[in-house]
A and B are shown apart, each in its own frame.
Chain A
Amino acid sequence: MGISQAVKSALEPFVGATVADTCVRATALSLGKMSDELDTDDLSALEASIRKLLGPVAPPAAIDDAIVTIQRSVMGV
């Protein structure tokens, strides 16, 4: 399982499959990469992107939870 898939799997129970995919694609796009080219060096960019996208609709604690889940999930990749 690649980083992008690990991030989607971690986000999906919280935000749904469509939005999880949007978060990964938006990050990859901002870095000039494809989703499956994301690696562990891109985690901080992913975090910033997720906070920006989910900020208007999710409480900060929920976003913090999602970020921690992603970090743990990615460390296991």
Chain B
Amino acid sequence: MAGSYVSRSTCITFGTAVVLVAVTAVLVSLGVGGEKGVVAIADIGGVLVVGLSAAVILATARRLGPATSVGRPWLLIGLGAMSFMVGDVIWTVIEVGVGAEPPYPGLPDPFYLIEYPLVAFGVLSAGLAFRGLVDVRRPAIIATVVGLAVSAIVYVGLLAPYVLSDPEISTGEKVLSTLYPLADVLLMLTPAIFVVAVVSSLGGGRLAWPWWAVATGAVLLAFADTGYSWLAAADLYDSGSFIDYGWSLGHAFMMLGALFARDLATRHVT
């Protein structure tokens, strides 16, 4: 007998992440605990959501078999989320524990940056696994063209006028503020477009659900990072900014993809 294809635990786990983000946003907007309280709530809320996401994605990879073509993408995405969480923990220790402003560039940045290639390889390998079923060349061409076009827009609209030409921004900041948005476009957005184009050509079906969710997460992360680069370059970023919720929700949607994949691996017909 066929049961529901979205399990109760998927609803509860994703709901928990969304509620955590919402509670964090409400507490931050109410200014609970003053300036220090807001920073602590924003930072710790982010760590909890990203940590939950990383743990669930890695557990899914373990269940599906991390060495198989079905489980390997989740292993890579989960390791990427875990790396981001380590960066967030370091950021929180500096900002909340030590009470200092995290340096930019600083110790968390390598951990944030490691997530890009891991997610890119994970999403690309998932899309390529469909090559025996649908044409993957056309999606690859579409994603490459869109990725290069958006990179050019980011360069002309953000990097050249606000980052690279500003003499007050240090070389290190310029390198990072260039790396983040370009990595977002080339290693998050482009693979997301590729996998969405691939699963769109399946003509529907639950097999596509995990990758729609992951692509949504990748787009949210790309917007959050690009926004952060712009705000950091303009010296306008503070913890508790709306950008923080983009990172949290981006990882929560990637977790939702893993939960859908886990539900697929559960027998429903008996």
Query: What residues make up the interface of A, taking CB atoms closer than 8 Å to B?
Result: 12-20, 22, 53-54, 56-62, 64-65, 68-69
Contact = CB atoms under 8 A, between A and B. Distances in A.
Contact of A59 (B133, B201, B208, B265): B265
Given A13-B204, A15-B205, 14 more contacts: A12-B204, A16-B203, A16-B205, A19-B133, A19-B202, A53-B132, A54-B133, A56-B130, A56-B132, A57-B130, A59-B261, A62-B264, A64-B269, A69-B269
> From DSSP, what is the main secondary structure of chain B's interface residues?
loop
Nearest to B128: A56
A46 to B, nearest CB: 15
Given A61-B265, A62-B264, A65-B269, A15 B207 contact: yes
A16 B208 contact: yes
A17 B133 CA distance: 12
B265 A16 contact: no
15 contacts: A12-B203, A12-B205, A15-B205, A16-B208, A18-B202, A53-B132, A54-B133, A56-B69, A56-B132, A57-B126, A58-B207, A60-B265, A61-B266, A62-B265, A69-B269
Contacts of B70: 56-59
Interface string B2-35: 1000000000000000000000000000000000
Contacts of A65: 267-269
A64 B267 CA distance: 8
A18 B201 CA distance: 7
B206 interface: yes
Interface string B52-93: 000000000000100001100000000000000000000000
B207 A14 contact: yes
Contact of B133 (A12, A22, A62, A68): A22
B205 A19 contact: yes
B265 A18 contact: no
Interface of B: 2, 64, 69-70, 126, 129-130, 132-134, 201-208, 261, 264-269
Nearest to B265: A59
Contacts, number: 76
A51 B267 CA distance: 16
B264 A58 contact: yes
Contacts of B64: 59
A54 B265 CA distance: 13
A20 B203 CA distance: 9
Contacts of B267: 61, 64-65
A7 B129 CA distance: 23
A44 B120 CA distance: 38
A75 to B, nearest CB: 14
B147 to A, nearest CB: 23
Contact of B205 (A13, A59, A60): A13
A58 to B, nearest CB: 6
B203 A17 contact: yes
Contacts of B264: 58-59, 61-62
